[in-house]
């Protein structure tokens, strides 16, 4: 299997034949196959448990050795050096593309969505979804996941504005950019009287593009779209109450503001030199904007890349290009969106190996809102990550969850009892020990349902380091019985120095 996808040439084997090929082995009898990989992996372990240097390191190097393309999201400043080392050791350094402020790579995500190949290219709703994904992260940062009773209205109103500004630019000039989005919205009319004002018309970017769109030749569908766009900007939008309009505009401008200045403008609003499709050719794209260094800006950039990658890889035809790809996210809670559980439910058919690493279960719930909706989305996401590796952990919620996940089995418990006569002490004092033999002894067995792996066992796993550099993990796979253990889970030692 090693190197099977390294060469950029058509494969002789049928794609369906490749899924059963082993990538690595948990034991002599048990392999982790390509099918297992594309069904998703979750790695949990406390800080210092060895999850990155143990099972994470083994999986990363294995997928690189096998020729996977991939997208790597970074949370810590040392992750670039770590992955450069992985690529160097596996002969993949030439395939590594680093996207960051000190590198030459650039990605205009809006222009890419408008001009990419495929029948769905240029659809307004796809561009709106891109912007909404970033907005979700921004709202989470500012509100901690809380919501208002009328939150649904404001989201619909914001999406309506986004839809109309994107459509306007697409009809007027055939492309969309963040600076143009901003200029159209802030120059839109704020009253019906202003719509008729020559002063507004002369200085408004919104009116300029309405005029250009009106002049350009259009298909019947585009004519219908233009009527809706014109009605929105010239009738509906200026007729909104001042408070409603100001909230919608402020929400939009605060969203695009971070993308419209400084580093993110340079990275995402110019010419494109790399797109997510490069992964399908075997490239490894590393986003060198670690959250611990760049904060919210790094988070925005990586969520944009992740969403664009997810939509891109879902569109590909595996029959034509069967090269597997991976999505790697250490400290994965920083990059979660509500789209992730939808992606994970279907990405197996696109041959994408999602690998998420984090400390505990609660990180995912908190990142997705911290409420019941966040818990449901967490359960949905994690249920679709079929391989789970548990390392040492002292978090009781995670340990209880892992124990329940592995499940209970019917176990036998032995019991015994011995009773002596009531005057036992008297017979001993009189030297009549033979009388003791008249006591009663009983024994038996009982059947009880007990956890196969008790929560406390996760606190006892080795965390690596000297002298032996061994990290313990418990590997669980749904629907599988490991031959080495006879159960759905198997203890695996990972050598940090191998």
Report whether pLDDT(437) > 80.
no
pLDDT digits (tens, 9 = 90+) for 427-436: 555 555 544 5
Residue 493 has pLDDT above 70, yes or no: yes
- Copy the structure tokens of residue 287: 């986003």
Query: Tokens 């796979």 appear where?
Result: 477
**Domains defined along the chain, listed by start:** 16-101+324-401 (3.40.50.300), 109-264 (no CATH), 409-451 (no CATH)
- For the stretch 48-79, what's the b/e string if a residue is b when 16 or more beta carbons lie within 10 angstroms of its beta carbon? ebbbbbbbbbbbbbbbbbbbbbbbbbbbeeeb
- Least confident range from 9-18, 39-48, 272-281: namely 9-18
Task: From residue 405, give the alpha-carbon distance in Å to each of 110, 128, 425.
Answer: 41, 38, 52
Q: Do the Cβ atoms of 376 and 338 come closer than 8 Å?
A: no
| CB burial string 273-293: b at 16+ within 10 A, e below | ebbbbbbbebbbbbbbbbbee
Is the per-residue pLDDT at 97 higher than 60?
A: yes
The predicted model gives 65-89 an average pLDDT of 97
pLDDT-based confidence at residue 308 (cuts at 50, 70, 90): very high
Query: What is the band of 147 on the pLDDT scale with cuts at 50, 70, 90?
Result: very low
Residue 415's beta-bridge partner residues? Answer: 444
Helix (H), strand (E) at residue 228: helix 220-231
pLDDT at 128: 86
pLDDT digits (tens, 9 = 90+) for 171-226: 998 888 899 999 999 999 999 999 999 999 999 999 999 999 999 999 999 999 99
Buried (b) or exposed (e) across 206-238, using 16+ Cβ within 10 A? bbbbbeebeeeeeeeebeebbeebbebbbeebb
User: 218-269 pLDDT, tens per residue?
Assistant: 999 999 999 999 999 999 999 999 999 999 999 899 878 888 888 999 999 8
d(CA 489, CA 130) in angstroms, rounded, equals: 39
Contact 337, 307 (CB under 8 A): yes
What is the rounded CA–CA span in Å between residue 89 and residue 336?
30
Query: Collapsing DSSP states into helix, strand and coil, what is residue 289?
Result: coil
**Where is mean pLDDT largest: 89-98, 310-319, 343-352?**
89-98
Of the given ranges (192-196, 346-350, 423-427), which has the lowest mean pLDDT?
A: 423-427
Q: pLDDT grade, residue 112 (50/70/90)?
A: confident
CB 114 within 8 A of CB 121: yes
pLDDT, average across residues 100-122: 85
Helix (H, G, I), strand (E, B) or coil at 342: helix
pLDDT of 19 above 80:
yes
CA atoms within 13 A on the CB side of 141: 17
Beta-strand ranges (E) seen in 333-488 are 352-358, 387-390, 408-419, 440-451, 470-477
Instruction: Give yes or no for a contact between 441 and 416, defined as CB atoms under 8 angstroms apart.
Output: yes
> In angstroms, rounded to a whole number, what is the distance separating the alpha carbons of residues 416 and 398?
36
Q: Which has the minimum average pLDDT: 23-32, 110-119, 141-150, 275-284?
A: 141-150
| Residue 447, φ and ψ in degrees, nearest 5 | -105, 130
Do 165 and 230 meet the contact criterion of CB atoms below 8 Å apart?
no
The model's pTM: 0.86
For 78-119, where are the alpha helices, taking DSSP H only?
Answer: 79-89, 109-115
pLDDT at 423: 53
Read off the DSSP letter of residue 335: G
Please determine, for residue 448, whether its predicted confidence score (pLDDT) is greater than 70: no
Mind listing the pLDDT tens digit for each residue in 362-405? Answer: 999 999 888 898 899 999 999 999 999 999 999 999 999 999 99
From CA 350, how far away is CA 339, in angstroms rounded?
A: 16
Query: What three-state secondary structure class fits 80?
Result: helix
Which run of H or E residues covers position 22? Answer: strand 22-25
């Amino acid at each position: 299997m090693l190197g099977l996808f390294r060469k950029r040439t058509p494969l002789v084997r049928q794609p369906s034949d490749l899924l059963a090929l082993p990538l690595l082995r948990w034991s002599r009898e048990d392999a982790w196959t390509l099918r297992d990989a594309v069904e998703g992996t979750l790695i949990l372990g406390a800080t210092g448990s060895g999850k990155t240097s143990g099972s994470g390191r083994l999986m990363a190097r294995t997928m690189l050795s096998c020729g996977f393309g991939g997208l790597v999201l970074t949370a810590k400043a040392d992750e670039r050096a770590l992955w450069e080392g992985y690529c160097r050791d596996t002969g993949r350094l030439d395939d590594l593309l680093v996207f960051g402020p000190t590198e030459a790579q650039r990605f205009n995500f809006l222009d890419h969505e408008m001009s990419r190949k495929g029948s769905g290219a240029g659809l307004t709703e796809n561009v709106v979804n891109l912007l909404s994904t970033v907005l979700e992260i921004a709202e989470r940062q500012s509100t901690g996941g809380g919501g208002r009773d009328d939150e649904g209205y404001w989201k619909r109103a914001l999406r309506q504005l986004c839809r109309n500004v994107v459509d306007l630019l697409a009809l007027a000039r055939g492309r969309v950019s963040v600076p143009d989005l901003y200029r159209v919205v802030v120059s839109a009319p704020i009253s019906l009287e202003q719509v008729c004002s020559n002063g507004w018309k002369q200085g408004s970017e919104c009116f300029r593009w309405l005029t250009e769109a009106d002049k350009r030749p259009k298909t019947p569908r585009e004519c219908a779209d233009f009527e809706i766009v014109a009605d929105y900007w010239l009738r509906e939008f200026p007729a909104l109450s001042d408070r409603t309009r100001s909230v919608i505009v402020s929400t939009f401008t605060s969203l695009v503001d971070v993308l419209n200045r400084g580093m993110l403008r340079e990275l995402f609003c110019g010419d494109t030199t790399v797109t997510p499709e490069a992964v399908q050719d075997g490239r490894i794209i590393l986003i060198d904007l670690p959250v611990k260094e760049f904060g919210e800006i790094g988070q925005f950039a990586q969520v944009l890349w992740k969403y664009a990658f997810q939509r891109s890889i879902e569109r590909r035809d595996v029959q034509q290009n069967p090269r597997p790809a991976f999505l790697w996210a250490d400290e994965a809670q920083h990059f979660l969106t509500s789209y992730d559980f939808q992606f994970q439910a279907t990405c197996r058919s696109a041959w994408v190996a999602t690998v998420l690493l984090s400390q505990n279960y609660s990180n995912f719930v908190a990142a997705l809102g911290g409420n019941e909706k966040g818990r449901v989305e967490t359960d949905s996401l994690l249920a679709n990550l079929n391989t789970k590796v548990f390392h040492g952990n002292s978090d009781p919620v995670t340990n209880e969850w892992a124990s329940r996940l592995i499940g209970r089995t019917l176990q036998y418990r032995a019991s015994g009892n011995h009773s002596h006569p009531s005057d036992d002490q008297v017979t001993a004092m009189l030297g009549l020990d033979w009388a003791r033999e008249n006591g009663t002894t009983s024994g038996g067995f009982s059947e009880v349902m007990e956890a196969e792996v008790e929560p406390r066992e996760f606190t006892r796993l080795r965390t690596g380091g000297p002298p032996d550099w061994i990290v313990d993990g418990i590997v669980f796979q749904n629907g599988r019985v490991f031959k080495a253990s006879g159960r759905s889970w198997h203890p695996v030692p990972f050598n940090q120095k191998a």
